[in-house]
Structure 1
Amino acid sequence: MKKILPLLFFMTVNFSAMSQKGFTITEKKEAKEVAIIFNGKLLTAYCYYDSSRKPILFPVNTIDGITVTRQYPFHIIPGERTDHPHHTGIWLNYESVNGLDFWNNSTAIAPEKRSQYGTIRHQKIISKSTANNAASLVVSAVWVRPDEKILLNETTTFNFTANGNDFVIDRISRLTATDTNVIFKDVKDGMLGIRVARELELPSKEKSSFIDDKNNITTVPPSGADVTGMYYGSNGLKGDSLWGTTGKWAMLTGIKEGKNITIGIIDHPANIGYPTYWHARGYGLFAANPLGRKVFSNGKEELNFSLQPHQSVTFRYRIIIHSGNILTREEMDRQADIFGKIK
């Protein structure tokens, strides 16, 4: 598999942008990256590599420069897991859209199986703007079948803010069906996801095996002392018990490079399936799945959400990347209240 090394981009960023205060946005079309820079430091980049099969934010850093996302498969870090090559940065897609798997698609899929997978392709940068401690990037993409038929048009707005030790990402994605019905089958893998660095995984003394719907098996080995993560939910649950439960927010805490890190994901009351189910795995996958109800509820609920031709749906999420201490439940509740009032 040919590997793209996105870290090379950061050596070619315009140095005048790196010296400016506040936010700057630097586009590198040849590298298929748009860097989001604050006070001369890279916070994240909107990347639309062919190999990722979807646009992503990668890497994702704290205000003080600590990378919270896993680097694999774009860059190899000693001791970092090399499972699930489709878990890259921060992304939004789904496991079953008209029977096609958008979630698990990557260059690791065998050629004879690629007819079962869908791809999200970046189309264009619609707009970008900055204003001191805030920035906005609006992009368009299409969800396509292997035969190039477009199922969904996507318009996504990323609103970035920096406030003290908080790097806040609001993602608002509007999905519009083209000329056909689009069915999001009720399944486990979806929808907004982030794959975190090794240090932020949950400690585990046992190896685990995970089987997807196509019988692919992934084995995850035990963790070491450097693994420090812990999940907390708005519903009062913590650790692995958060998986398969609902809540208006969830957060993952841990220590990396000697600093306390908190990653929070907040659901929006206007979203389908609110409050979302949490597909939060100890090995580093932190995801919100509002459309997969059946597997999480042991069959008590089922959604199978669908769009009629030209019908739209919007998904809104807030992601908080915080360093310096651990965010409290009260702070997460406050952030959720603020975000819930945004239309």
Structure 2
Amino acid sequence: MNQAKIILGVLALSAAVVGCGQSPKGQGQAEQIDRFSFAEQTENNRIEVRLDGQPYTSYCYADSLKKPVLYPLRTKGGHFVTRGWPVQPRANERTDHPHHLGLWFNYGDVNGLDFWNNSTAIPAEKRMDYGSIHHAAVNSMETDGNTGVLDVTKYWQGPQGDSLLREDTRYVFEVDEEGNTSITLDIQLTALTDVSLRDNKEGVLGIRLARELEHPSDEPARFTDANGIVTEVAQANNDGVTGHYISSEGVEGDKVWGTRAKWVTLNGAIKGEEISLVILDHPGNPGYPTYWHARGYGLFAANPLGQKALSDGREELNFSLDKNASTRFRYKVLIHAGGKLDTAAINNQFTAFSED
């Protein structure tokens, strides 16, 4: 309870709405409305991303988070698809894994340092075993019709401030004519020293889901009540909990964990709105097709590097980069609301993404 209060005090985010702008596209042309807009709030260590003038997500980079994240993720209609805890807790949310926040990219073993599990909950005597990712620069913020692009630079640092990796990431936000939204992450990692990313199940692209998108479970756990107070319960309340994983290979439910697939969709409903949340892997990524670290309790993650851990020892990948060498990861997150995306529609999205 005390830890949750500390995190809330440090990380509380504003939900203020600021109007979006319109951009003329040259003389003699009709004025084009840019659907996305950005507003940097340096005092809050975040950049608000708005869609049609309404909050869509934010790029949050406070050092207390231990890595930049996109938080929260919403449908175009405003429903949260990510967990609020520990930043903005909502009723009936799990309170495990305080490092699971929004959408993020990191890894559990980089030169022996754990970047994945780091949070303010780590005891002081153990912090030398953890790394953190620090926002360094906003390179550009661009809007054009149905697309917005945020380009940033980050550094993966050890506990004494030594930089191991430079990360350059382009977040591409898009909305289509039907109102479906997507976030493409184009990530380049450049080694600033010899770097080893040894086989580890904790990685690399993660989303922590809203309670409604978890799989139903009758196991005991810790949840928040209507006032955000943490309570131990003997059996989870599954009212409105509707999540169900399906992979490109036809694997379903909790069985998706530890399998390879080109994509995985999570189907569910929030307040009567049917939702498909999809992560697409890219054929150019290391370790493609990725293994999935997808858990029924709400962790939805793609991990191409933790092959030994996720294949029960059948395969192993100890990925490394020599100093000054680079590698690239690309993922696309689709947020489809108002129905479920079928396999054919997702395969079409995957083909377009893989050929991009």
Shorter-chain TM-score tier: over 0.9
Aligned partner of 1:171: which letter?
L
Matching of residue 312 in structure 1 with residue 312 in structure 2: no
Query: 1 CA distance for matches of 2:276 and 2:202?
Result: 23
Matching of residue 112 in structure 1 with residue 125 in structure 2: yes
Matching of residue 321 in structure 1 with residue 335 in structure 2: yes
After superposition, where does 1:89-100 map in structure 2 within 5 Å?
A: 89-100=102-113
Partner of 2:18: 14
Which is higher, the Rg of structure 1 or of structure 2? 2
> Which of 222, 241, 245 lines up with 2:255 in the alignment?
241
Partner of 2:151: 138
Matching of residue 271 in structure 1 with residue 285 in structure 2: yes
Assess, with a 3 A threshold, how the Cα gap between structure 1 residues 45 and 296 changes in structure 2: closer, same or farther. same
Partner of 2:211: 198
Q: Which secondary structure state, in structure 2, belongs to the residue aligned with residue 187 of structure 1?
A: coil
Query: 2 CA distance for matches of 1:304 and 1:22?
Result: 42
Partner of 2:98: 85
Deviation at 1:299, TM superposition (A): 1.0
Gaps of 5+ in 1: 210-217
On the 8 A contact 1:70/1:89 being kept in 2, the answer is yes
Give the root-mean-square deviation of aligned CA atoms.
Answer: 1.9
Partner of 2:181: 167
Aligned partner of 2:332: which letter?
R
Query: 2 CA distance for matches of 1:105 and 1:295?
Result: 20
Query: 1 CA distance for matches of 2:315 and 2:279?
Result: 23
Deviation at 1:205, TM superposition (A): 2.1
Q: Which secondary structure state, in structure 2, belongs to the residue aligned with residue 174 of structure 1?
A: strand
Deviation at 1:91, TM superposition (A): 0.1
Identity, in percent, stands at: 45
Q: Which secondary structure state, in structure 2, belongs to the residue aligned with residue 335 of structure 1?
A: helix
> Which of 89, 95, 110 lines up with 1:76 in the alignment?
89
Gaps of 5+ in 2: 1-5, 23-32, 223-231
Matching of residue 150 in structure 1 with residue 163 in structure 2: yes
- TM-score, normalized by length of structure 1? 0.92
Assess, with a 3 A threshold, how the Cα gap between structure 1 residues 16 and 237 changes in structure 2: closer, same or farther. closer
Query: 2 CA distance for matches of 1:48 and 1:86?
Result: 14
Query: 1 CA distance for matches of 2:234 and 2:296?
Result: 10
On the 8 A contact 2:13/2:44 being kept in 1, the answer is no
Query: 2 CA distance for matches of 1:255 and 1:165?
Result: 17
Query: 1 CA distance for matches of 2:310 and 2:82?
Result: 25
Q: Which 4+ residue blocks in structure 1 deviate beyond 4 angstroms?
A: 218-221
Deviation at 1:6, TM superposition (A): 4.4
Partner of 1:43: 56
Deviation at 1:276, TM superposition (A): 0.2
After superposition, where does 1:248-287 map in structure 2 within 5 Å?
A: 248-287=262-301
Matching of residue 182 in structure 1 with residue 186 in structure 2: no
Partner of 2:349: 335
Query: 2 CA distance for matches of 1:192 and 1:339?
Result: 17
Deviation at 1:132, TM superposition (A): 1.5
| CA shift digits 1:69-92 (9 cap, x unpaired) | 001110121211111000000000
Aligned partner of 1:43: which letter?
Y
On the 8 A contact 2:18/2:53 being kept in 1, the answer is no
Query: 2 CA distance for matches of 1:175 and 1:2?
Result: 29
